[in-house]
């Protein structure tokens, strides 16, 4: 299966660019003062890259490990592997700013080739950024110069895992599959569907993100209520590190020592390169059904979701938009102007046998009706399902239209959800209004647990004169608010370089020191993703 | 709530000693050649302890941190904190052998006192064994002399957490409770029941083991199918280490970095002392029901359990005895000689509202009947429930009767369960028969997951001339077989000193090096439980 390249300056497949719904354009203009953008993005052929910091000898050594055909130094490869897909990343790459480009893109095909690459890069002190789908929104693909500890030249490679894209094994008795890290979401589902199975992991980045990235960034998908987070799905991992191989997971669960799988999950390439992942799989469900519900307020809706999370039954998909997001129609654009735009929209999805879906829908409906919910039928659910991976395309359209848009997310325990919600909203509105670009701040609960939930914020404003700088300040304020309000700095986007300082506050200096000790043991030369994840590097 | 002392030379409350069922005695005599034991155990008042290796200055320093009343050096305290509750531990203590006695028992009352103790012990290089219920069966309370790296005198203290026994907080919205580590199982349930909640954690050691031990040893209870393992229940942890405090868990789940909670869970006191645990709690179920099912073979029964684990619905309790265990009546003593002793007995338990219990029982019954199960009604289930915490008492009776009895457990993925089962059985039978004490080896599946299950073995034989030595060789063979057959060295008993070498094989040299790096960072003087858990110390 060929792995396609994403649009270099935005999201996904250029042919699938989604125009803004007219009500959204009107809202942006009237509410936020959004004005058409100025200069169009530059063309790829006009984008240059910095001089290569690797020597010919370095490049020859890399070629000796993977073959010369799999070491790419051309401008297009380097540009395509520059940074990730945060809005600030996009705004910078659209202007042709490629200062964070890797010096080479290296494509190993096996675990042993990855091991050899890491040995070579350790010996030559070349930094290595493991690269899956390139969809990071937290700066996890931009090693920090000041942090290139002991990496003499400042050069780094993108270690692109796309050639490692096999379904290695399927154990139908244990219902597990061994996946290589370069497989992207649709390829995983296609390979498993051919055998009658599904993984059930559908993050918004599903169409482009990779298995290795899901594991390294502790991803969580839209059907997490039914299938769990990606870290719940993983039962085994193989990791190539500069010091050798970690092979983890002899049983679903074990009482033998700490769960080292959970130390690798979320390690964001700072400890090693994940070269295979063993995951739980499920028979392809016979039936799927989506539906919408309305609640008079976000608090009432959240209480209803909490009831489902704590006492069941749970749908596979469960999300609740706040009043602002419901009004803006992000979850259900066609409902704008209808009666369904009042209050807060919840979207539910059910999967299983036809009888399971029917039974569960009925039980959930009873709970939600008892909690004050009003059923809206399948329309809002089907529309959400149809557009579930389109939001990143919408962002490109907004940027084209002169708006700024970005997202951030957090999680906490249920009793702290209202405080965290208010704290983040106030921080974002205060910072951006103060900068002259008053925003629309929208939120939804995207993942629920018995003891808490995640909050996913979308911020839209005019771009103003310097949107990157405006956002940096607003994001800083939001991160401070999250830590102050006892939230986690990220529920599923990860730490990267963007969240690292707040992550250090979250786990404390001793927690950071533990991560440092692990990194120093596995990557003594500090070549792996320097500046990412580990606080205080 | 006063914390009682356990019988110093056996299990639990002496008043609850359980005599052997007559059929079992006959079986032991006829099948295994068990002969009455020789000398009776010595009396507690006649048991001596080694000379104290701590100086008066050491003891004064300890007293300065917790108060003189909470530093105990009397023989009885030291004997009562000697080793854990493995059969070999009991056989040795019954003879008055106390070479592993701590030099002092120290009882801190607060997190800050624990921190102060660890600083004092670091400065004086006194080893520290965190002590909860004292129920370890893997040698986790016996620091190894050769490993007392840098601990000059060889002296060590038992850091007994029984004074830290409060329900600190109950968050009814998030359904979480903050528990101190010295709380034992019944105290947790009593405190929560007073507020209408249950933790749902019922390991066989429930009546004596502590919350800190549940967390440090990654415990799993009999109702794990319904409530999860203890590591599933934990959402937050506070840990006192020689280098300071770790305070972990801002949300049920997070995408921010590795899950450091899962590095502390299972750390067995080698990284720090757990001083509080935040756990999920549940409303006390309105109804409970237990029942038995019979399967013609262990394989057929295992396949039925796998069906429930993979496709649901799951009872709260789900276990399946093999033919030997069913025949011996360990799960249902009263059924011996009845028709129910043929084949394999499964015990199921259901909890919830009356309607939930009824609905789930019916759905499970349909699945099990379809998988060839025969319903035995509530009798076997109720008898199992009545005696669910009695097996350790039964062990004392067996030892008194001249038999040897011990247990060990493992887990793997479903497709490897038959191979692991046979490998361990063969290893145990081969080793003990070869030593002249042919055993009865029984097994049950005690915990199920969608991708695998645990196997819990019980071994009974004549004691022979040197039961400790006989067992050491058989256990060695069983551990080799587990590793060879791709099982984990322990599903819920832990690593301790007994499993450490095989644990090192399980996680590999690099996995062991990671644990060593973490330990060195948190406990640079190596005072915490030396020789426990971390391979190659």
Q: What is the 3-state secondary structure (H, E, C) of A222-272?
A: CCHHHHCCHHHHEEEEEEEECCEEEEECCCCCCCCCCCCHHHHCCCCCCCC
Q: pLDDT band at residue A147, thresholds of 50, 70 and 90?
A: very low
CA distances from B21 to B18, B319, B331, B332, B397 (A): 9, 22, 13, 11, 10
Question: CB-hemisphere CA count at 13 Å for A159?
Answer: 35
Buried b (16+ CB within 10 A) or exposed e, A72-89: bbeeebbbbbbbbbbbbb
Of B452, B494, B520, the CB nearest to A517: B520
Interface test with B, best of A173, A255, A270, A493 (most B CBs within 10 A): A255
The minimal CB distance from B253 to the residues A449, A487, A520 is found for A449
User: Residue B508 is nearest to which of A220, A247, A521, comparing CB atoms?
Assistant: A247
d(Cα B126, Cα B528) in Å, to the nearest integer?
9
Spatial contact of B106 and B68, defined as CB atoms under 8 Å apart: no
User: When comparing pLDDT for B100 and A18, which is higher?
Assistant: B100
Q: Do B256 and A220 touch (CB under 8 A)?
A: no
Helix (H, G, I), strand (E, B) or coil at A56: helix
B453: three-class secondary structure by DSSP: strand
For chain A positions 277-316, those within 8 Å of chain B (CB to CB) are: 280, 306, 310
Residues of A in contact with B253 (CB under 8 A): 220, 229, 231, 411, 447, 449, 491
- Give dist(CA B287, CA B316) in Å, integer: 12
Residue A338 has pLDDT above 60, yes or no: no
Closest chain B residue to A272, measured at CA: B510
CA–CA min distance A3, chain B (Å): 26
> Per the CB < 8 Å rule, is A451 touching B252?
yes
SS3 for B535?
coil
Looking at beta carbons, which residues of chain B come within 8 Å of A252?
411, 413, 449-452
- Residue B149's pLDDT is 41
> Helical H runs in A67-194?
75-80, 87-94, 111-124, 185-193
* Angstroms from A188 CA to nearest CA on chain B: 19
| Residues A413, B235 contacting (CB under 8 angstroms) | yes
Cβ A219 vs Cβ A201: under 8 Å: yes
Contacts with B220 from chain A: Cβ below 8 Å = 253, 255
Whether B517 sits inside 8 A of A513 (CB atoms) is no
Does B266 sit within 8 Å of A259, measured CB to CB? yes
Q: Tell me, what DSSP letter sits at residue B112?
A: H
Q: Complex ipTM, two decimals? A: 0.96
Going by C-alpha positions, the residue among A443, A463, A461, A462 that lies closest to residue A453 is: A443
- Pairing between β-strand B156-160 and β-strand B104-106 as defined by DSSP bridges: parallel
Considering only the beta carbons, identify the residue of B251, B262, B414 that sits closest to A487.
B251
Digit-coded pLDDT (tens) for A211-226: 999 999 999 999 999 9
User: Do residues B363 and B56 lie in contact, with contact meaning Cβ atoms separated by under 8 Å?
Assistant: no
**What pLDDT does residue B40 have?**
77
Could you say which DSSP state residue A16 is in?
A: G
CB contact under 8 A, A243 and B513: yes
From the list B197, B199, B253, B204, the residue with the least C-alpha distance to B228 is B199
Give yes or no for A174 touching B (CB within 8 A): yes
Query: Residue A148 pLDDT > 60, yes or no?
Result: no
Question: Which of A254, A305, A447 is best to mutate for the B interface (most B CBs within 10 A)?
Answer: A254
Q: Are A179 and A277 in contact (CB under 8 A)?
A: yes
Contact call for residues A170 and A118 (beta carbons, < 8 A)? no
- Report, in angstroms and rounded to the nearest whole number, the Rg of chain A calculated over CA atoms: 23
Q: In this complex, which of A241, A264, A518 lies closest to B518 when CB atoms are compared?
A: A518
Residues of A with Cβ-Cβ distance to B217 under 8 angstroms? 255
Phi–psi pair at B334, nearest 5 degrees: -70, -15
Whether the CB of B231 is below 8 Å from some CB of chain A: the reply is yes
Report the 10 Å Cβ neighbour count for A235. Answer: 24
Residue B370 CB neighbour total at 10 angstroms: 10
Sign, CA dihedral A39-A42-A47-A50, equals: positive
Distance of alpha carbon B387 from alpha carbon B216, whole angstroms? 26
Place of tokens 């450091």: B260
Which residues from B are below 8 Å from A173, CB to CB? 306, 413-415
Question: In which residue are the tokens 């056989």 written?
Answer: B91
**Interface residue A509 vs chain B (CB under 8 A):** yes
Q: Smallest CA–CA separation between B20 and chain A, in Å?
A: 30
Question: A414 to chain B: which residues are within 8 Å by CB?
Answer: 173-175
* Partner residue facing B511 (CB), from A235, A254, A260: A260
The answer to whether the Cβ–Cβ distance between A255 and B218 falls below 8 Å is: yes
Does B452 sit within 8 Å of A252, measured CB to CB? Answer: yes
Q: Is B39 exposed, middle or buried (0-12, 13-18, 19+ CB in 10 A)?
A: exposed
- B243 to A510: CB separation less than 8 angstroms, yes or no: yes
Tell me the pairing of strands A156-160 and A127-131: parallel
Q: Using a CB-CB distance cutoff of 8 angstroms, which residues of chain B are in contact with residue A253?
A: 220, 229, 231, 411, 447, 449, 491
Average pLDDT, chain A: 93
DSSP string, A182-198: T-BHHHHHHHHHTTTEE
What phi-psi label fits residue B153: left (phi over 0), alpha (psi between -120 and 50 degrees) or beta? alpha
Q: Does A324 touch chain B (CB under 8 A)?
A: no
Look at A143-157, A375-389, B161-175, B184-198 and tell me which has the smallest mean pLDDT: A143-157
The residue of B201, B250, B418 whose CB has the most chain A CBs within 10 angstroms, and thus the best one to mutate to test that interface, is: B250
- Residue B454: its chain A contacts at CB < 8 A? 251
Best mutation target, A253, A275, A524, to test chain B (most B CBs within 10 A): A253
Buried b (16+ CB within 10 A) or exposed e, A427-462: bbbbbbeebebbbbbbbbbbbbbbbbbbbbbbbbbb
Q: Is B178 on the interface with A (CB under 8 A)?
A: no
Q: Does B522 touch chain A (CB under 8 A)?
A: yes
Closest by CA position to B178, among listed B260, B315, B309, B278: B278
Location of structure tokens 């009999």:
B222
pLDDT tens track, chain B, 537 positions: 457 889 999 999 988 887 787 777 787 888 899 988 767 789 999 999 999 999 999 999 999 999 999 999 999 999 999 999 999 999 999 999 999 999 999 999 999 999 999 999 999 999 999 999 999 999 999 987 644 544 556 789 999 999 999 999 999 999 999 999 999 999 999 999 999 999 999 999 999 999 999 999 999 999 999 999 999 999 999 999 999 999 999 999 999 999 999 999 999 999 999 999 999 999 999 999 999 999 999 999 999 999 999 998 999 999 999 999 998 876 666 665 555 558 999 999 999 999 999 999 999 999 999 999 999 999 999 999 998 898 889 899 999 889 999 999 999 999 999 999 999 999 999 999 999 999 999 999 999 999 999 999 999 999 988 899 999 999 999 999 999 999 999 999 999 999 999 999 999 999 999 999 999 999 999 999 999 999 985
CB A531 within 8 A of CB A497: yes
- The length of chain A is 537
Neighbours of B434 (CB within 10 A): 13
To the nearest whole Å, the CA of A416 is away from the closest chain B CA by 9
Q: What is the largest CA-CA distance in chain A?
A: 70
Rounded to an integer, what is the distance from CA B446 to the centroid of its chain? 13
What CA–CA distance (Å, rounded) separates A261 from A310? Answer: 27
3-class secondary structure, B448? strand
**Site of tokens 């590795």:** B258
Residue given tokens 């102050």 in the structure block = A484
pLDDT exceeds cutoff 60 at A513: yes
Where helices occur in B194-235 by DSSP H, the ranges are 211-216, 224-227, 230-233
Put simply, whether A68 touches B (Cβ < 8 Å) is no
Q: Pick from B171, B175, B219, B258 the residue to mutate for testing the A interface (most A CBs within 10 Å).
A: B258
What is the structure's pLDDT at B455?
Answer: 98
For A76-113, what is each residue's pLDDT tens digit?
Answer: 999 999 999 999 999 999 999 999 999 999 999 999 99
Residue B40 token pair: 């009776």
Instruction: State which H helix or E strand residue B176 sits in.
Output: strand B176-179
In this complex, do B451 and A490 lie within 8 Å of one another by their Cβ atoms? no
**Model pLDDT for residues A32-68, shown as the tens digit of each residue:** 999 887 677 899 999 999 999 999 999 999 999 999 9
**pLDDT for res A3:** 73
Question: In the numeric block, which tokens belong to residue A343?
Answer: 């209050």
Place of tokens 């400890």: A271
- B30 by Cβ neighbours in 10 Å (0-12 / 13-18 / 19+) ranks as exposed
Nearest to B511 among A248, A306, A492 (CB): A248
Beta bridge partners of A413: A452
Cα gap A491→A222, rounded to integer Å:
13
Tracing tokens 């963007």 back to the chain, one arrives at A498
Would an 8 Å CB–CB cutoff place B452 in contact with chain A?
A: yes
Please state the rounded mean pLDDT for residues A428-438.
Answer: 95
CB contact under 8 A, A490 and B174: no
Alpha carbon distance B278, B178 (integer Å) = 4
Establish if B94 touches chain A: CB-CB under 8 angstroms. Answer: no
Nearest to B263 among A255, A258, A488 (CB): A258
B269 CB near a chain A CB, below 8 Å? no
Chain B partners within 8 Å of A510 (Cβ): 241, 243-246, 522
pLDDT of A340 above 90: no
- The Cα B48–Cα B97 span in angstroms is 8
What's the rounded Cα separation, in Å, for the pair B307 and A175? Answer: 11
Query: A256–B514: do the CB atoms touch at under 8 Å?
Result: no
Instruction: Locate A171 and state its tokens.
Output: 């154990």
Pairing assessment for the beta strands A104-106 and A156-160 based on DSSP bridges: parallel
Q: How far is CA B157 from CA A54, B44, B67, B75, in A?
A: 56, 21, 15, 13
Q: Measured between beta carbons, which residues in chain B are less than 8 angstroms from residue A254?
A: 218, 411, 488, 490-491
- How many whole angstroms separate alpha carbon A183 and alpha carbon A211? 6
pLDDT at A150 over 50: no
Q: How buried is residue A385: exposed, middle or buried, by Cβ count under 10 Å (0-12/13-18/19+)?
A: middle
Q: Do B310 and A175 touch (CB under 8 A)?
A: yes
Residue A127's pLDDT is what?
94
Calpha distance A523→A510 (Å, rounded)? 19
Cα distance between residue A186 and residue A192, in whole Å: 10
């Amino acid at each position: 299966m060929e792995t396609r390249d994403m649009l270099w300056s935005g999201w996904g497949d250029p042919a699938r660019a989604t125009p803004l719904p007219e009500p959204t354009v009107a809202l942006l203009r009237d509410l936020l003062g959004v004005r058409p953008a100025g200069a169009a993005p530059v063309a790829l052929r006009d984008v240059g890259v910095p001089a290569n910091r690797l020597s010919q000898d370095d490049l020859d050594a890399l070629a000796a490990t993977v073959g010369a055909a799999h070491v790419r130094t051309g401008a297009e490869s380097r540009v395509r592997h520059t940074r990730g897909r945060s809005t600030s990343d996009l705004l910078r790459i659209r202007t042709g700013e490629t200062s964070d480009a890797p010096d080479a893109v290296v494509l190993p095909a096996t675990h042993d080739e990855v091991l050899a690459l890491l040995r070579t890069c350790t010996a030559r002190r070349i930094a290595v950024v493991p690269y899956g789908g390139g969809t990071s929104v937290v700066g996890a693909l931009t090693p920090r110069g000041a942090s290139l500890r002991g990496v003499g030249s400042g050069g780094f490679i993108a270690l692109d895992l796309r050639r490692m894209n096999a379904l290695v094994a399927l154990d139908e008795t244990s219902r597990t599959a061994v996946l290589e890290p370069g497989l992207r979401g649709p390829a995983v589902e296609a390979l498993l569907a051919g055998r009658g199975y599904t993984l059930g992991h559908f993050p918004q980045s599903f169409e482009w993100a990779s298995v290795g990235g899901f594991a390294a960034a502790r991803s969580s998908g839209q059907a997490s209520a039914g299938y769990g987070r990606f870290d719940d799905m993983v039962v085994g991992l193989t990791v190539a590190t500069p010091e050798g191989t970690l092979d983890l997971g002899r049983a679903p669960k074990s009482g033998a020592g700490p769960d080292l799988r959970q130390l690798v999950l979320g390690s964001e390439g700072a400890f090693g390169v994940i070269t295979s992942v063993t995951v739980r799989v499920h028979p392809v469900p016979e039936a799927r059904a989506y539906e919408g519900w309305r609640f008079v307020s976000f608090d009432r809706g959240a209480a209803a979701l909490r009831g489902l999370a704590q006492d069941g039954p749970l749908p596979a998909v469960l999300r609740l938009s706040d009043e602002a997001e419901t009004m803006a129609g992000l979850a259900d654009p066609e409902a704008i102007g209808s009666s369904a735009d009042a209050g807060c929209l919840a979207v539910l999805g059910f999967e299983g046998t036809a009888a399971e879906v029917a039974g569960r829908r009925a039980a959930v409906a009873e709970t939600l009706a008892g909690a004050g919910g009003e059923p809206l039928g399948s329309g809002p659910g089907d529309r959400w399902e149809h557009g579930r991976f389109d939001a990143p395309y919408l962002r490109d359209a907004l940027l084209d239209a002169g708006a700024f848009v970005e997202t951030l997310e957090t999680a906490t325990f249920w009793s702290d959800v209202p405080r965290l919600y208010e704290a983040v909203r106030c921080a974002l509105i205060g910072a951006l209004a103060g900068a002259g670009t008053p925003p629309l701040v929208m939120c939804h609960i995207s993942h629920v647990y018995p003891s808490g939930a995640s909050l996913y914020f979308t911020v839209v404003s005019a771009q103003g004169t310097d949107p990157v700088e405006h956002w940096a300040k607003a994001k800083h304020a939001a991160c401070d608010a999250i830590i102050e309000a006892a939230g986690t700095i990220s529920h599923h986007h990860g730490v990267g370089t963007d969240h690292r300082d707040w992550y250090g506050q979250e786990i404390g200096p001793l927690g950071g020191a533990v991560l440092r000790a692990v990194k120093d043991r596995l990557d003594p030369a500090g070549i792996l993703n320097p500046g990412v994840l580990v606080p205080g590097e």
